[in-house]
């Protein structure tokens, strides 16, 4: 071996060395070369298509053009292609080669490692301590301690770069991969190991390196066992100095360890947790998710938009808790999140019924403070009325150099279990701590509960949509599942037969796996816990005693399908009939039926569990048995316990029991109706409580009977009893009223009968008396009939007159309705005008209602488009359509549908230009607003150049209007806001824009707008936060702290917050507007404060004009929120 160049040693010591591993590392582990993969694919292709041009493909393989051969073979094989590649390139069952172990021993001095193979040998050698990325990221060139897989990773099929077409796309002149290689080449030093001089992989890399002029000495290195002079000259032409020697000896010369790994420790504990989730203590046994963990954790932190909330979302049973506790948290400690502290304090909690109390206790304990019951009660009392309590606690007690991570598992419990006030207070603490950048938040939530969270906590949902990184966790991939089966056992010296691994995968496929939304071959949601449960059963049965788990033992154990039912039924074996009924009541009490019919787990207190299980003595024995602590088959565990608010609570160990345990599933179906009643009772009782316990409008009829048949349960059992008692009392009151009504009716009928009898008696007497004069009676009767006929004619005439009057009244009513509609539209237009002209009124739409609002707005926009085609000159329709399009764009921004939002904003801007041509006051300001919306959208899309272009156009519009009306303070505000936006975007003119904004604020002193503020900086903060319209960028507006920090750098002055103004401050101003002249004739603030008087004065200076309003001088009183 030739001596190691001094420059290579210096690069290693300085931490600027990036090692790129070639295919030689994989072949040293026993994996075949790419030519072997191509040959295996060719054999499968010939079976599928015997007439294939095999000779041409073989010639391409032999000449080193494997990528071209793979193009043809992928086309022929179709869906068969990917499983064959996975089988040929998988490193499962292959030991980590010594060269990879030696490389890992240098990891502390390396900057990064790049690989050109799809296997995970390097990641395994590193022990998962570095994040790995298979798709290029913009920050990879700046990051340290990362593995970048240039050709993708086996887990993600869409990341593969194997065929010629994929190489051309991913390593072409303008590709991101090529740009990253060029950046690494220019900024750092590269060492290539595991390549041969004529290796196509080496040619591919050299083609991506910038050409050298020959005058500069090579600053990069390649280790080759042999090299001809011509090959050396070619490599030096690419800036690569050849170090003669194999990869292992070069690494040894750089100080690597001898690469001899210690044998696996003999650990008797089973490495498979069964149905229980992985915790951080089991992180070393958590396999199959490394790529997903790298992706998710790296979304926290960041150099530009520093993210502090990671929301892990996914279906029930997919493994969110294990992913966070055994994956994300250890990854945070290993530095996967860029630009975050190296040391972490992690607080873990489940919200439960009292999320605020749990948060207080968890934070106090994790920060090392007194967490005795009395101390926690004292802290909780102070947190109740202070939303900033958590932020202040962390600020005061977090050790220097640490970060505080709050992990909230099953985040949906905040809205499904907690009372309204409790969840509002909890959300306020979290939102404030995030706003003050005092913590990092990691949450897990079921995907189907996200709408409930958005509807129940709109403030928190807004941060989730706009500032959080939402990671949708898919079911584990087939490649990941293969690793999760074999690697935990390998860590303790036990081998899982490869035939057994493939058989388990086949059984999982038979159980309902398939392609995921991303095109990956993925197992079903509950596949991983079922497999872990089955492997645990094999382990407990002694299958690992000889350090090999065989296919034969798996088949003798009964295989995968039905394993859960067999072991769960085993926990019930031997129970007496009465005990079995107790177990059924207990397990059904731990089940919920949601509104949509889905079955989920329900946590119960130990006291409730005792009640369900037949009392404390019987319940204690049954709970111990179902928890795997006594009786039943070995270590069968169906229940798990946690401590919440110093109370022991029980839960089913995994959602898989609800789906895959036949006995429990049958019980649930038999009792589904009663379970639904119980949940409906809880839901209705909570709403009744939140409404203030009203005694009117309570349910009746069948709905009442269903609620009375519901079983009071859980911590709200007292509330359930109270609600049912109120229902019974209300029903009894209704029955009493009905009885009284019936008695009154019978009494009235009795009186009517008596009157009728008396009348009959009198008539009889008269008939007797008049019997002698029958003719006279007939004349009288005839006369009465004539009078009745005349009366009938009069009634008909009266009816005709009334009908005519009714038609007149209906016509008048329709005319009045039309006028009212016109007047209402005018009032609505005025309200929109105030919001558009002054930038003060803000429309707030709950994120939980986005879908409904979007559908309604789309219908209105379609009507507007149809109307506009029939009457393009109608001003009111133009205004209405423009506003609806803007709001649609805002909604799509909230939903992160940026392309759709762009189209709505552009169409809205086109209508605004049409209004400008009509010279309307409304359009004069909104043209600038339209450009501001497009600019902010460009910020969201991380396109600062386009954002500057739009904001500059908006600034020009505001300047144009300000030039027309220099005395209008509103235009000064808008121009200042545009300067602030441009300042935030940076660039050489940022300081100039900030100075312009400050100068524009000076005249406001003359209006008294700055009265009550200690300095202009606070006013600038208010302008930025309240008057700059348009959707916010994900990083949000500049905080008061950030603005003051920037201004201190410019002025050297220490700033104070505005007096009397707190976070979330809102102000109402009542305006009287003359609808004929459009002038605000009076504006009165609800709060008599300097800020209120300032804003009222600004509003009072506004004059509107435009068509479509009724001619009246009667003032219209409207109230707006600023």
Summarised one tens digit per residue, pLDDT across range 175-187 is 899 989 988 998 8
pLDDT mean over 802-819: 59
pLDDT mean over 12-20: 94
- Range with the poorest average pLDDT among 21-30, 78-87, 603-612: 603-612
Count the helices and strands in the chain (H runs, E runs): 48, 24
Q: What is the dihedral of CA 994, 1000, 1002, 1006, to 10 degrees?
A: -160
591 phi-psi bin (left φ>0, alpha ψ -120 to 50, beta other): beta
pLDDT mean over 560-579: 83
208 against 1013, higher pLDDT: 208
> What is the model's pTM?
0.59
Res 884 pLDDT > 90: no
What is the pLDDT, as a whole number, of residue 261?
Answer: 46
Q: What are phi and psi of 592, to 5 degrees?
A: -120, 145
What is the pLDDT, as a whole number, of residue 757?
Answer: 42
**CATH number of the 289-472 domain:** 3.40.50.300
> How far separated are the first and last CA of the chain, in Å rounded?
76
Res 821 pLDDT > 60: no
The sign of the CA dihedral 870, 876, 879, 882 is negative
Closest CA to 1117 of 1087, 1068, 1076, 1082: 1082
Q: Could you tell me the CATH superfamily of domain 823-1060?
A: Tetratricopeptide repeat domain (1.25.40.10)
Res 573 pLDDT > 70: yes
What is the pLDDT, as a whole number, of residue 515?
Answer: 47
Q: What are phi and psi of 171, to 5 degrees?
A: -120, 15
d(CA 437, CA 1108) in angstroms, rounded, equals 50
Task: Please report, for residues 444, 763, 930, the alpha-carbon distance to residue 1030 in angstroms, rounded to integers and kept in the order given.
Answer: 31, 86, 8
Summarised one tens digit per residue, pLDDT across range 976-993 is 878 878 877 877 787 788
Res 250 pLDDT > 80: yes
Summarised one tens digit per residue, pLDDT across range 924-959 is 567 888 888 898 889 888 888 889 889 898 888 888
Cβ atoms of 867 and 823 closer than 8 Å = no
- Res. 1094 pLDDT band, cuts 50 70 90: low
Task: Tell me the average pLDDT of the chain.
Answer: 77
Closest CA to 245 of 507, 8, 599: 8
196 phi-psi bin (left φ>0, alpha ψ -120 to 50, beta other): beta
594 phi-psi bin (left φ>0, alpha ψ -120 to 50, beta other): beta
**CATH number of the 564-670 domain:** 1.10.10
In order, the DSSP letters of 548-563 are EE-HHHHHHTT-STTH
Beta strands 591-593 and 599-601, pairing class: antiparallel
- Res. 38 pLDDT band, cuts 50 70 90: very high
What is the pLDDT, as a whole number, of residue 1029?
Answer: 35
d(CA 395, CA 433) in angstroms, rounded, equals 10
Question: Topology of 6-30+95-253 in CATH?
Answer: Rossmann fold (3.40.50)
What is the pLDDT, as a whole number, of residue 1024?
Answer: 45
Coil, strand, or helix at residue 738?
A: helix
b/e sequence 502-531, b meaning 16+ C-beta within 10 Å: ebbbebbeeeebeeeeeebbbbbbbbbbbb
Res 51 pLDDT > 90: no
Res 832 pLDDT > 90: no
What is the pLDDT, as a whole number, of residue 794?
Answer: 63
pLDDT mean over 951-973: 81
d(CA 390, CA 360) in angstroms, rounded, equals 8
* Token representation of residue 105: 């021993």
- Range with the poorest average pLDDT among 346-350, 428-432, 685-689: 685-689
What is the pLDDT, as a whole number, of residue 192?
Answer: 96
What is the pLDDT, as a whole number, of residue 112?
Answer: 94
Res 1070 pLDDT > 70: no
Cβ atoms of 358 and 416 closer than 8 Å = no
Cβ atoms of 1065 and 1057 closer than 8 Å = no
What is the pLDDT, as a whole number, of residue 918?
Answer: 62
Summarised one tens digit per residue, pLDDT across range 721-779 is 888 888 988 888 888 777 766 555 555 554 444 444 444 333 344 444 444 445 544 55
Closest CA to 181 of 231, 226, 240, 247: 240
Task: Please report, for residues 38, 68, 523, 1067, the alpha-carbon distance to residue 88 in angstroms, rounded to integers and kept in the order given.
Answer: 10, 18, 20, 68
What is the pLDDT, as a whole number, of residue 1063?
Answer: 31
Beta strands 599-601 and 112-115, pairing class: unpaired
What is the pLDDT, as a whole number, of residue 840?
Answer: 26
- Res. 511 pLDDT band, cuts 50 70 90: low
Alpha helices (H) in 436-477, listed in sequence order: 450-456, 458-466
In order, the DSSP letters of 220-259 are EEEEES---HHHHHHHHHTTEEEEES-HHHHHHHTT----
* Token representation of residue 1049: 């750098």
What is the pLDDT, as a whole number, of residue 1098?
Answer: 56
- Three-state SS string over 952-1006 comes to HHHHHHHHHHHHHCCCCHHHHHHHHHHHHHHHHCCCCCHHHHHHHHHHHHCCHHH
The sign of the CA dihedral 589, 595, 597, 602 is negative
- Three-state SS string over 638-695 comes to CEEEEEECCEEEEEECCCHHHHHCHHHHHHHHHCHHHHHHHHHHHHHHHHHHHCCCCC
- Res. 500 pLDDT band, cuts 50 70 90: very high
Q: What is the dihedral of CA 455, 459, 462, 468, to 10 degrees?
A: -110
441 against 516, higher pLDDT: 441
What is the pLDDT, as a whole number, of residue 1034?
Answer: 33
Cβ atoms of 256 and 243 closer than 8 Å = no
Cβ atoms of 937 and 895 closer than 8 Å = no
- Range with the poorest average pLDDT among 215-224, 543-552, 706-715, 806-815: 806-815
pLDDT mean over 289-295: 92
Closest CA to 1038 of 1023, 1048, 1024: 1024
655 against 581, higher pLDDT: 581
d(CA 120, CA 478) in angstroms, rounded, equals 15
5 against 1092, higher pLDDT: 5
- Res. 23 pLDDT band, cuts 50 70 90: very high
pLDDT mean over 608-622: 83
In percent, the amount of the chain with pLDDT more than 90 equals 27
Res 797 pLDDT > 90: no
The sign of the CA dihedral 329, 335, 337, 341 is positive
Task: Please report, for residues 1018, 1069, 1119, 1121, the alpha-carbon distance to residue 1087 in angstroms, rounded to integers and kept in the order given.
Answer: 19, 8, 13, 12
In percent, the amount of the chain with pLDDT more than 70 equals 72
d(CA 833, CA 1102) in angstroms, rounded, equals 10
Closest CA to 153 of 203, 100, 194, 116: 116
Res 449 pLDDT > 50: yes
- Res. 1112 pLDDT band, cuts 50 70 90: very low
Summarised one tens digit per residue, pLDDT across range 648-678 is 788 888 888 888 888 998 999 999 999 999 8
What is the pLDDT, as a whole number, of residue 923?
Answer: 57
Query: Residue 238's CB: how many other CB atoms inside 10 A?
Result: 20
- Res. 1021 pLDDT band, cuts 50 70 90: low
């Amino acid at each position: 071996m030739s001596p190691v160049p001094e420059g290579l040693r210096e690069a290693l010591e300085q931490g600027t060395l990036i090692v790129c591993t070639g295919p030689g590392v994989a072949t040293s582990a026993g994996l075949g070369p790419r030519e072997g993969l191509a040959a295996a694919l060719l054999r499968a292709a010939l079976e599928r298509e015997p007439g294939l041009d095999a000779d041409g493909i073989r010639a391409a393989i032999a000449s080193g053009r494997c990528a071209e051969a793979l193009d043809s073979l992928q086309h022929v094989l179709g869906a068969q292609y990917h499983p064959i590649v996975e089988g040929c390139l998988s490193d499962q069952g292959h030991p980590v080669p010594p060269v990879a172990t030696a490389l890992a021993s240098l990891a502390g001095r390396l900057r990064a490692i790049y690989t050109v193979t799809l296997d995970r040998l390097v990641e395994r050698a590193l022990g998962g301590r570095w994040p790995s990325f298979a798709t290029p990221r913009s920050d990879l060139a700046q990051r340290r301690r990362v593995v970048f897989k240039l050709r993708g990773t086996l887990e993600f099929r869409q990341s593969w770069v194997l065929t010629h077409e994929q190489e051309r796309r991913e390593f072409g002149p303008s590709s991101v991969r090529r740009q990253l290689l060029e950046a690494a080449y220019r900024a750092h030093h590269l060492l290539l190991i595991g390549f041969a001089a004529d290796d196509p992989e080496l040619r591919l890399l050299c083609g991506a390196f910038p050409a050298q002029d020959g005058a500069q000495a090579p600053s990069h290195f390649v280790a080759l066992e042999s090299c001809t002079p011509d090959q050396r000259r070619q490599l030096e032409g690419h800036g690569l100095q050849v170090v003669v020697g194999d990869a292992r000896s070069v690494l040894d010369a750089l100080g690597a360890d001898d690469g001899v790994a210690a044998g696996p420790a003999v650990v008797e504990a089973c490495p498979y947790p069964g149905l229980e989730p992985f915790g951080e203590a089991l992180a070393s046994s958590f396999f199959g998710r490394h790529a997903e963990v790298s992706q998710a954790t790296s979304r926290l932190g960041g150099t530009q938009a520093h993210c502090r909330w990671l929301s892990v979302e996914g279906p029930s049973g997919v493994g969110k808790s294990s992913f966070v506790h055994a994956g994300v948290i250890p990854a945070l400690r290993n530095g996967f999140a860029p630009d975050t502290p190296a040391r972490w304090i992690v607080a873990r909690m489940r919200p439960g019924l009292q999320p605020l109390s749990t948060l207080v206790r968890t934070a106090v304990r994790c920060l090392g403070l007194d967490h005795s019951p009395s101390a926690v009660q004292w802290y909780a009392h102070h947190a109740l009325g202070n939303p900033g309590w958590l932020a202040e606690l962390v600020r005061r007690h977090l050790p220097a150099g640490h970060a505080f991570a709050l992990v909230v598992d099953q985040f949906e419990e905040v809205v499904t279990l907690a009372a309204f006030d409790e969840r509002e207070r909890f959300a306020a603490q979290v939102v404030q701590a995030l706003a003050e950048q005092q913590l990092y938040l990691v949450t897990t939530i079921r995907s189907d509960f996200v709408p409930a969270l958005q509807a129940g906590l709109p403030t928190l949902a807004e941060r989730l949509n706009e500032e959080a990184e939402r990671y949708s966790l898919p079911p584990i991939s087939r490649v990941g599942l293969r690793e999760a089966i074999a690697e935990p056992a390998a860590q303790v010296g036990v081998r899982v037969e490869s035939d057994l691994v493939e058989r388990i995968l086949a059984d999982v496929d038979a159980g309902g796996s398939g392609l995921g939304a991303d095109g990956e071959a993925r197992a079903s949601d509950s596949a991983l816990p079922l497999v872990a449960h089955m492997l645990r059963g094999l382990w407990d049965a002694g299958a690992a005693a000889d350090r090999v788990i065989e296919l034969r033992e798996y088949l003798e154990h009964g295989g995968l399908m039905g394993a859960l039912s067999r072991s769960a039924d085993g926990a019930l074996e031997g129970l007496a009939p009465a005990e079995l009924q107790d177990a059924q009541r207990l397990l059904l009490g731990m089940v919920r039926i949601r509104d949509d019919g889905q079955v989920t787990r329900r946590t119960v207190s130990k006291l409730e569990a005792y009640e369900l299980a037949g009392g404390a003595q019987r319940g204690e024995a049954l709970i111990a048995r179902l928890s795997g602590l006594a009786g039943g088959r070995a270590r069968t565990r169906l229940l798990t316990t946690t401590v919440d608010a110093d109370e022991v609570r029980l839960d089913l160990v995994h959602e898989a029991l609800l789906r895959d345990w036949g006995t429990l599933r049958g019980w649930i179906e038999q009792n589904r109706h009663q379970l639904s009643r119980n949940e409906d009772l809880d839901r209705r009782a909570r709403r009744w409580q939140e409404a203030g316990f009203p005694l009117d409008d309570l349910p009746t009829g069948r709905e009442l009977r269903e609620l009375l048949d519901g079983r009071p349960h859980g911590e709200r059992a007292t509330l359930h009893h109270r609600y049912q008692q109120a229902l019974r009392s209300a029903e009894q009151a209704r029955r009493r009223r009905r009885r009284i009504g019936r008695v009154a009716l019978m009494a009235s009928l009795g009186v009517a009968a008596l009157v009728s009898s008396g009348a009959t008696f009198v008539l009889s007497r008269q008939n007797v008396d008049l019997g002698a004069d029958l003719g006279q009676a007939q004349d009288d009767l005839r006369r009465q009939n004539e009078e009745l006929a005349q009366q009938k004619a009069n009634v008909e005439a009266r009816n005709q007159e009334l009908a005519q009057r009714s038609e007149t009244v209906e016509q008048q009513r329709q005319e009045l309705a039309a006028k009212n509609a016109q007047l209402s539209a005018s009032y609505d237009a005025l309200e929109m005008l105030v919001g558009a002209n002054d930038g003060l009124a803000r429309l707030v739409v709950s994120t939980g209602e986005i879908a409904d609002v979007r559908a309604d707005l789309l219908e209105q926009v379609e009507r507007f488009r149809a109307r506009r085609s029939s009457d393009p000159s109608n001003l009111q329709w133009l205004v209405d359509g423009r506003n609806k399009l803007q709001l649609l764009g805002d909604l799509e921004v909230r939903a992160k549908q940026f392309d759709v939002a762009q189209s709505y904003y552009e169409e809205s801007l086109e209508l605004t230009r049409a209004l400008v041509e009509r010279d309307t006051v409304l359009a004069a300001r909104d043209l600038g607003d339209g450009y501001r919306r497009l600019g902010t959208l460009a910020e969201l899309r991380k396109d600062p150049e386009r954002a500057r272009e739009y904001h500059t156009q908006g600034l020009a519009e505001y300047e144009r209007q300000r030039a027309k009306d220099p005395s209008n303070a509103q235009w000064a505000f808008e121009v200042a806001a545009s300067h602030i936006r441009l300042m935030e975007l940076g660039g050489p003119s940022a300081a100039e824009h900030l100075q312009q904004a400050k100068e524009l604020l000076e005249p406001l002193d003359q209006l008294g707008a700055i009265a009550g503020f200690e300095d202009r900086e606070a006013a600038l903060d208010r302008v930025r936060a309240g008057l700059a319209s348009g959707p916010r960028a994900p990083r949000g507006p500049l905080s008061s702290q950030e603005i003051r920090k920037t201004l201190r750098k410019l002025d050297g002055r220490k700033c104070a917050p505005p007096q009397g103004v707190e976070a979330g401050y809102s102000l109402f101003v009542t305006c009287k507007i003359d609808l004929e002249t459009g002038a605000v004739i009076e504006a009165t603030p609800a709060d008599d404060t300097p800020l209120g008087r300032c804003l009222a004065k600004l509003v009072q200076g506004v004059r509107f004009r435009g068509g479509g309003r009724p001619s009246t001088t009667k003032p219209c009183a409207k109230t707006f929120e600023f």
